[in-house]
A and B are shown apart, each in its own frame.
Chain A
Amino acid sequence: MWIYEKKLEYPVKIKNTNPALAKLILTQYGGPDGEIGASLRYLSQRFTMLTPQAKATLNDIGTEELAHLEIVAAIVHQLTRDMTTEQLKESGLDAYYVDHGDGIYPANAAGNPFTAAYLQSTGDPVVDLYEDMAAEEKARITYEYIMRFIDDPDVMDPIRFLRAREIVHFQRFGEALMYVQNEVDRKKIHPVKKPKCFENDCEC
């Protein structure tokens, strides 16, 4: 169950149209390290997660990513307000425009549609948490690459917030991994069955 509240996690109030910047920021909506992939990844992985701490971490960060998805979309929406044909041509957003108009579509900066191939859910809690830590780092560096192209403080403000959250989430996933690793060590049995070749009496 989810609850929607009619507010953003962090305010977005952009005065100036800037389709070129919108084109770049869109990748954090539906790109390889974007927020929809993050949310889907964590919310899918939680079903096979181990330990109460790590389950709650996946559940709650997966939920927060949905709020980030809304912030990114709000930024793109406000940056593409009242675009002229000239602005569209110059910005390079014209190709996106003929496919999607003013609409928000989950794609990367080059216009490729979102794909679930961007994420994994392996059923192995340790493997999944390593992926999650990497995912937070990839999202952080993407925000930093985007920051190079931002000269509008109205845009920089929410992007800075989103980047900071990647660092916090990375930290929390690292702690969750510690709990899971301790649990695996304590039980002396891995949550996912190992191939027969890992056993001592293997003859191959």
Chain B
Amino acid sequence: MDRDKLLKEIMILDFAAVDLGLYLNTHPNDERAINLYNRVVNKADGCRTKFEKFFGPLCSFRSPSRECWTWIDNPWPWSEKFNKNL
């Protein structure tokens, strides 16, 4: 399992969801956009679950924890090593 590849996938999908969400705020009846939004969100959900299972939590109050609280150990996104290979 490639951490950076999976993280990049989540970032791409989440950005698509953010952008579609903004569009839908002012075009709430656009069925094509809603379908696309749902596809993106579902796929991102799957990737997020997979990422957290192998590489630790993305969120400090929504993600399940392992026996040890790894939230404090995983790199922060502004650090060099976090997204060096994205």
Residue from B27, B28, B58, B85 in contact with A5 in the complex, judged by beta carbons closer than 8 Å: B58
Interface string of B14-35 (1 = CB under 8 A from A): 1100110111011110000000
Determine, out of A57-65, A95-103, A114-122, the stretch whose residues face the partner at the interface.
Answer: A57-65
**A6-B57, A8-B77, A73-B78 known; A61+B22 contact, CB < 8 A:** yes
In whole angstroms, how far apart are the Cα atoms of A7 and B76 in the complex? Answer: 7
Smallest CB separation, B85 vs chain A (Å): 8
Given contacts A6-B74, A8-B11, contact A78 B80 (CB under 8 A): yes
Contacting pair A172 B83 (CB below 8 A) = no
* Chain A: interface residue total (CB-CB under 8 A): 29
B57 and A13 contact, CB distance less than 8 A = no
Inter-subunit contact A70/B77 (CB<8 Å): yes
Q: Which residues of B contact A64 (CB under 8 A)?
A: 18, 22
In the assembled complex, the Cα of A114 lies from the Cα of B58 at a distance in Å of 30
Interface size on B, residues (CB 8 A): 32
In the complex, which residues of chain B have a beta carbon less than 8 angstroms from the beta carbon of A57? 22, 25-26
C-alpha gap A176/B24 in the complex (Å): 11
* Other-chain contact of B78, A10, A61, A70 (Cβ < 8 Å): A70
Complex: how many Å from CA A11 to CA B18?
16
Whether the pair A6, B86 counts as a contact (CB closer than 8 A) is no
Chain B CB within 8 A of A53 CB: yes
* Central interface residue in B10, B18, B60, by most chain A CB within 10 Å: B18
Instruction: Give the distance to chain B from A172, nearest Cβ to Cβ, in Å.
Output: 5
Q: Which residues of B contact A60 (CB under 8 A)?
A: 18, 21-22, 25
A40 contacts the other chain (CB 8 A): no
Taking a contact as CB atoms closer than 8 A, the residue among A3, A4, A56, A81 that contacts B25 in the complex is A56
Compute how far the CA of A179 lies from the CA of B18 in the bound complex, rounded to whole angstroms: 21
**A8 contacts B83, CB within 8 Å?**
yes
Residues of chain B contacted by A5 (CB below 8 angstroms): 14, 58-59
- Measured CB to CB, the nearest residue on chain A to B25 is A56
Is B7 part of the contact surface with A, judged by Cβ < 8 Å?
Answer: yes
Check A138 for interface membership: any CB of B closer than 8 A: no
CB nearest neighbor in A for B59:
A5
A124, chain B: closest CB distance, angstroms: 20
A6 and B71 alpha carbons, distance in the complex (Å): 9
B15 contacts across to A, CB distance below 8 A: 9-10
Taking beta carbons and an 8 Å cutoff, which residues of B are in contact with A? Answer: 7-8, 10-11, 14-15, 18-19, 21-23, 25-28, 57-62, 71, 74, 76-78, 80, 82-86
